[in-house]
Structure 1
Amino acid sequence: MLAAVSTARPSSSPLATPALRDRGDACPGTLRLHAADDGALARVRVPGGVLSVRQARVLADAALRLGDGELHLTSRGNVQLRGLQEECGGELAGLLDAAGLLPSPGHERVRNIVASPLSGLDGSGERDVRSWLSALDAALCASEAARGLSGRFLFALDDGRGDVSSLGADVTVRATADGGALLGLGSAREVLRVAGDDAPQAALLAAEAFLEFAGRAGERVWRIEELGACSAELRTDVRRRLAESAIDCSLDRGDGATTGGPPPGVVGTALSVHAPLGRLTTAQWQELADVAPLELRLTPWRGIVVPTPGTTGPGRGSALSRLAATGLVTDDSSPWLGVGACIGRPGCGKSRADVRADAARTLATASRSRLPLYWSGCERRCGRPGGDHVDVVAAPEGVYRLAGPEVAGQPRTTEVSDLTHLATALAAITS
């Protein structure tokens, strides 16, 4: 699967374009749909990626009746429905509300929370973060100020194993062995140590402090990294807010050790599968719901974890075989685990190529790359991961431009006009 992002601030790619701030935050949600070339698009926030089986079935029904019949996983463990019919917004909102997926309409686009998907399931990590997730989501929905957050602002709740703390979130809470937590802002190495019980409230206060700080600066910034050198001043503001709320904190140094996402297969008391390019048919989704006793956990690596408490080893093996038969990845040697892509043509009018089809065609002939690959139809590179990876970007001239990690301060780039030459180009970039 796509590799975890390093805790260091990711370097800019020569294929990137700067973020525009000449209009309001246009990040889609479920109450404000986005008009795409293949129909309307809805992005359903799923805090921590946790869906009950009933909620999962509601999403499948919505995709089948109102959309293109597929469910698309995002790099934040959310779900996108595409190809939605005109004027279906009210019906979709009603379905989601009845299923408990729309607890606060005013906050629906800001409930961006990723959490360690294997927390409490495999014996790793320092604590089960489910209580943090419930508390943070409730506090977020109760905060009037939090409605002002951008739809891009991200919280991460890490159980101590270092998986989601590496995803470049704006506010990261990481459990520690002594029962405490480290509160991180953006990619800064300096963190604030707080008591574990205070962690969810501290995370919300940090987000509210960011909104106040950005407002005083008079600039339209949506993410903490955009503050640059001013992030140190924000940390001072956060410490003040914590003190005013009687939350003790101290300055500490973050742990840079990270792990990737869950490998496919049986992991602890759960099943883990990967959806190629993050796309699932309703048949695949329904099979997941059928084998899940209680819930699904969507991962930021476009995978799904199915907790199976009380299920025997043979039972888990049988369930995994059922999922593999639908085309979901259950083998950790699959080359699909290192490949991601934006929607491309025909869904996006800005895309210069059908990048998903090209990625699949290339995967059939090329050996697995040492680094993850992310295919983009244009320089915006929507949904791309952070950390070391190779950007494969469609260019106007009918070629693909490849850019790998920097060496000696210089990015490695090349162009290919024939996909059969991609393996050779990748070998040169990743060596």
Structure 2
Amino acid sequence: MVGMLAAMPPPAPRFAQPGDARFRARGDACPGALRLHRADDGALARVRVPGGVLTWEQADGLRELAGRLGDGELYLTSRGNVQLRGLGAECGSELASRMYEMGLLPSERHERVRNVVASPLSGLDGLGARDVRPWLTALDALVCASEAAAGLSGRFLFALDDGRGDVDALGADVTLRARGDGDAELRIGALESVVRIPAADAPRAALLAAMVFLETAGSSGAAGAASVAAEASGATEASGAGGASGAGAASGPAGSSPRRAPGAGAWRVADLPGGAVPLFDEVVRRLRAAGPPVALGTVPVPGGAPPALGAVAGPGDTDALSVGLPLGRADAVRWRALTDLARDDGAGELRLTPWRGVVVPGVRRDRAPGALDALEAVGLVTGDRSPWTGVAACVGRPGCAKSLADVQGDAAAALPVAPRADALPVHWSGCERRCGHPRGEWVDVVAGPDGGYRVSVVRDGGRTGEPEHVTGDPAALATAVATARAPRT
């Protein structure tokens, strides 16, 4: 096995035309920047942003596209990606071309599988064991260079944790976690078992694990199985990064889609009928066969926590400013405030977090207080005592046809003056799918067909008691949510 690979500049993608066989939807319906999803409020594009890292120019370009082609707002996801909503039905080709020009589409065939979260404060506050940005660059290049990796679903997730345990807690399919001794640990799904590997081999080991997942889940025919098996063994050359023969842009659910992981029909590790243990064992076997020294261990999955809001002391005389977006949404004014700060007073980049926040690195310490005041003035969350702290919701009505309520409006109406410092996070859902809900312990507020909501506490995927059903009284609903958010002793 080898260490990090440099990304090669890809050629401009060719976009398929209507009627092309590649337009057939097959299985995985996750939207992307090329394959748009038709929602009740127009088409939706999901732009993958590996590690959440955007240059200020890319961020400003997304703002411009949202204003010109969509509803004018940008929506952050629980994977640190960006969604544009309210798009016109015919904007697919223009959107895809702009994504390529902005450097957000390095591979057409892989654009929906570049799902990577990374510790947002890595390299900024001195708390992690290592800066995972080199891992991020290397892993993204490896994924885009792998033909077989295009077969991953849009739901498969990589996590790169710098050792603090924040994104290790998110339940990714493949997690790399830095160690203080310079090595790395690779975790599969939510297993406590980990395999210790040299840090230089970590990105390729993560790709190998994903390829073994595809092989375990099944493949479409002997040729597909051979391709996946070859890449899992590290035998495939880094070709195909440009994706010039890949699937094309589309403006609707008939867009291109990479091959589903067939056989068991598994989209993610948790879907495997045999669970994660056989996959982990096979990954360990492949790693040992590939040559680097490996060792097995047990590391409990951490509780994890998002970055603290406000100024985070960085290197030298700089701070990183960490802010939240109410319900993960930013209009043009809020987004421009962030991009202007990154351009004029920061390091020129924004880091989107899996907790629907934004970190702006490199702000001079003497300017940080004034910058935070300016961000708060436009409605961003700059401290843990904001009523919006810990509050999330799906898009609800009118954007989603499946939603039974305007959950975002109802969530705003039920805000406390300020939450308790130890309040549980709360997620409002318009239907039983609970799109974007958190992990761990949280308050589950779900709309019902009678116009009311069910309020309960969820811990490790199970309820801690019977839900409280509240209908027709906003004050009673706010009280029920506030009571549920108070941690049990």
Give me the whole-angstrom Cα distance separating, in 2, the residues matched to 1:154 and 1:409: 25
Matches within 5 A, 1:346-385: 346-364=398-416, 368=420, 370-385=423-438
Give me the whole-angstrom Cα distance separating, in 1, the residues matched to 2:133 and 2:326: 27
CA contact (8 A) 2:394 2:434 kept: yes
Secondary structure in 2 matching 1:389: strand
Alignment partner of 1:189 is 2:192 = yes
Give me the whole-angstrom Cα distance separating, in 1, the residues matched to 2:121 and 2:110: 26
Alignment partner of 1:250 is 2:295 = yes
The correspondence for 1:316, drawn from 339, 361, 368, is 368
Matches within 5 A, 1:15-94: 24-94=27-97
Q: Flag the 1:184–1:266 CA change in 2: closer, same or farther, 3 A.
A: same
Residue 271 of structure 1 and its aligned partner are, at CA, apart by: 0.6
Structure 1 residue identity aligned to 2:290: S
Alignment partner of 1:284 is 2:334 = yes
Structure 2 residue identity aligned to 1:29: G
The correspondence for 1:298, drawn from 352, 355, 363, is 352
The answer for the alignment partner of 1:14 in structure 2 is none
Residue 390 of structure 1 and its aligned partner are, at CA, apart by: 1.0
- C-alpha distance after superposition, 1:211-255 (max 9, x if no partner): 000107821010101225432111121122223432332211114
The answer for the alignment partner of 1:338 in structure 2 is 390
The answer for the alignment partner of 2:468 in structure 1 is 414
- C-alpha distance after superposition, 1:396-423 (max 9, x if no partner): 0111011213699853311001221124
CA contact (8 A) 1:403 1:429 kept: no
Residue 428 of structure 1 and its aligned partner are, at CA, apart by: 5.6
CA RMSD across the alignment: 1.9
Structure 1 residue identity aligned to 2:296: L
Structure 1 residue identity aligned to 2:204: Q
The answer for the alignment partner of 2:324 in structure 1 is 274
Give me the whole-angstrom Cα distance separating, in 1, the residues matched to 2:114 and 2:48: 6
Secondary structure in 2 matching 1:105: coil
Alignment partner of 1:425 is 2:480 = yes
Structure 2's unaligned 5+ residue stretches are 1-24, 220-261, 314-318
The correspondence for 2:278, drawn from 214, 233, 238, is 233
Give me the whole-angstrom Cα distance separating, in 2, the residues matched to 1:221 and 1:164: 23
Structure 2 residue identity aligned to 1:71: L
Residue 371 of structure 1 and its aligned partner are, at CA, apart by: 1.3
Structure 1's unaligned 5+ residue stretches are 1-21
Give me the whole-angstrom Cα distance separating, in 2, the residues matched to 1:429 and 1:148: 40
Matches within 5 A, 1:86-125: 86-125=89-128
The answer for the alignment partner of 1:10 in structure 2 is none
Residue 58 of structure 1 and its aligned partner are, at CA, apart by: 0.8
Residue 108 of structure 1 and its aligned partner are, at CA, apart by: 0.2
Residue 429 of structure 1 and its aligned partner are, at CA, apart by: 7.5
Number of corresponding residues: 408
Residue 319 of structure 1 and its aligned partner are, at CA, apart by: 1.7
Give me the whole-angstrom Cα distance separating, in 2, the residues matched to 1:359 and 1:249: 48
CA contact (8 A) 1:106 1:147 kept: yes
Give me the whole-angstrom Cα distance separating, in 2, the residues matched to 1:171 and 1:357: 36
Give me the whole-angstrom Cα distance separating, in 2, the residues matched to 1:247 and 1:316: 45
Give me the whole-angstrom Cα distance separating, in 2, the residues matched to 1:203 and 1:406: 29
Alignment partner of 1:126 is 2:129 = yes
CA contact (8 A) 1:242 1:249 kept: yes
Q: Decide which moves more: 250-259 or 73-82.
A: 250-259
CA contact (8 A) 1:185 1:235 kept: yes
CA contact (8 A) 2:190 2:301 kept: no
The correspondence for 2:378, drawn from 309, 316, 326, is 326
Give me the whole-angstrom Cα distance separating, in 2, the residues matched to 1:409 and 1:395: 17
Secondary structure in 1 matching 2:272: helix
Give me the whole-angstrom Cα distance separating, in 1, the residues matched to 2:282 and 2:62: 40
Q: Flag the 1:240–1:266 CA change in 2: closer, same or farther, 3 A.
A: same
Q: Flag the 1:410–1:359 CA change in 2: closer, same or farther, 3 A.
A: closer
Give me the whole-angstrom Cα distance separating, in 2, the residues matched to 1:282 and 1:396: 34
Give me the whole-angstrom Cα distance separating, in 2, the residues matched to 1:419 and 1:23: 43
CA contact (8 A) 1:182 1:254 kept: no
Give me the whole-angstrom Cα distance separating, in 1, the residues matched to 2:302 and 2:70: 41
- C-alpha distance after superposition, 1:153-182 (max 9, x if no partner): 000000000000000100000000100111
CA contact (8 A) 2:322 2:360 kept: yes
The answer for the alignment partner of 1:400 in structure 2 is 453
TM-score, L = length of structure 2: 0.80
Give me the whole-angstrom Cα distance separating, in 1, the residues matched to 2:36 and 2:49: 16
Secondary structure in 2 matching 1:261: coil
Give me the whole-angstrom Cα distance separating, in 1, the residues matched to 2:119 and 2:418: 32
Q: Which has the larger radius of gyration?
A: 2
Structure 1 residue identity aligned to 2:101: A
